[in-house]
């Protein structure tokens, strides 16, 4: 099993173990069950004792863990090409392709680490919130959130450093000249570029997807679906 798959498997085990623990301690969970903690560390929001209310953080974490990896560009985009008019077509570059592949691999690794961290954090916080004799001090929960955010930033920095060792070839230099003003928000629109994904000179640490082609558009729809799922989990679920 690959390291990324092991992390996702570990996250799934954490969620399963947290659900199992809450079910085993069901008799000690109060009714109504606390669902919100204020800045003083005191419960100030309650709902009837149901499984969904007692495991709301876990459910949100699971939805996030399933949706967030969809935002990572698939490695296959690096070598996916589209037919374009030969007269003004940009050259296909092997070094540009390798650069995209390395960034895809780095992004996938970072995402698997973040998903594992989310599973651990949400499992601990959910159990601490609803099981009275496992309640953590509020200051410790704050420390955990801060540590989580620092960890996310630290692992994310790996993406920008993942392709420093690749020297651009002649084809990539030509591409960079033509695409030097292209790109923004992780996308670019170049109908004369046969490549579906690239790393542009304006943002060398980020993958840009070519929205002029159908595969790039499909990827953006996938990202949109992921964002909607996460927003629904964080905004809608607490009101159910």
Q: What is the pLDDT of residue 82?
A: 92
Q: What is the pLDDT of residue 160?
A: 61
Q: Are 130 and 47 in contact (CB under 8 A)?
A: no
Q: Omega of the bond prior to 32 within 30 degrees of 0, cis? A: yes
Q: What is the pLDDT of residue 200?
A: 87
Phi first, then psi, for residue 92 (nearest 5°) are -85, 135
Write down the H helix ranges in 25-137.
51-54, 56-67, 94-130
Q: What is the pLDDT of residue 167?
A: 82
Q: What is the pLDDT of residue 135?
A: 82
Domain boundaries of the chain, sorted by first residue: 3-239
Alpha-carbon distances of 6 from 13, 111, 113, 146, rounded to whole Å: 10, 13, 10, 25
Rounded Cα–Cα distance for residues 99 and 148 (Å) = 29
Q: What is the pLDDT of residue 164?
A: 60
Rounded Cα–Cα distance for residues 240 and 225 (Å) = 21
Q: What is the pLDDT of residue 186?
A: 85
Q: Are 83 and 191 in contact (CB under 8 A)?
A: no
* Residue ranges in the chain modelled with pLDDT below 70: 1, 39-41, 159-164, 238-240
């Amino acid at each position: 099993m690959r390291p990324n798959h092991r992390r996702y498997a570990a996250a799934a085990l954490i969620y399963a173990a947290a659900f199992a623990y809450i079910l085993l301690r069901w008799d000690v969970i109060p009714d109504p069950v606390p669902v919100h903690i204020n800045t003083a560390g005191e419960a100030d929001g309650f709902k009837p004792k149901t499984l969904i209310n007692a495991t709301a953080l876990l459910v949100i974490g699971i939805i996030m863990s399933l949706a967030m990896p969809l935002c990572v560009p698939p490695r296959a985009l690096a070598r996916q090409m589209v037919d374009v008019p030969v007269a003004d077509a940009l050259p296909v570059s092997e070094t540009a392709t390798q650069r995209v592949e390395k960034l895809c691999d780095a992004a996938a690794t970072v995402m698997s680490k973040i998903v594992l961290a989310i599973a651990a954090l949400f499992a601990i916080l959910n159990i601490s919130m609803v099981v009275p004799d496992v309640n953590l001090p509020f200051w410790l929960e704050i420390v955990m959130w801060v540590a989580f955010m620092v960890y996310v930033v630290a692992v994310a920095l790996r993406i920008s450093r993942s392709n420093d060792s690749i020297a651009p070839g002649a084809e990539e230099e030509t591409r960079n000249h033509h695409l030097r003003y292209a790109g923004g928000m992780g996308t670019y629109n170049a109908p004369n570029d046969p490549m579906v994904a690239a790393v542009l000179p304006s943002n060398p640490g980020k993958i840009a997807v070519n929205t002029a082609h159908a595969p790039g558009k499909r990827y953006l729809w996938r990202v949109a679906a992921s964002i909607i799922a996460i927003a629904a989990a964080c905004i809608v679920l607490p009101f159910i």
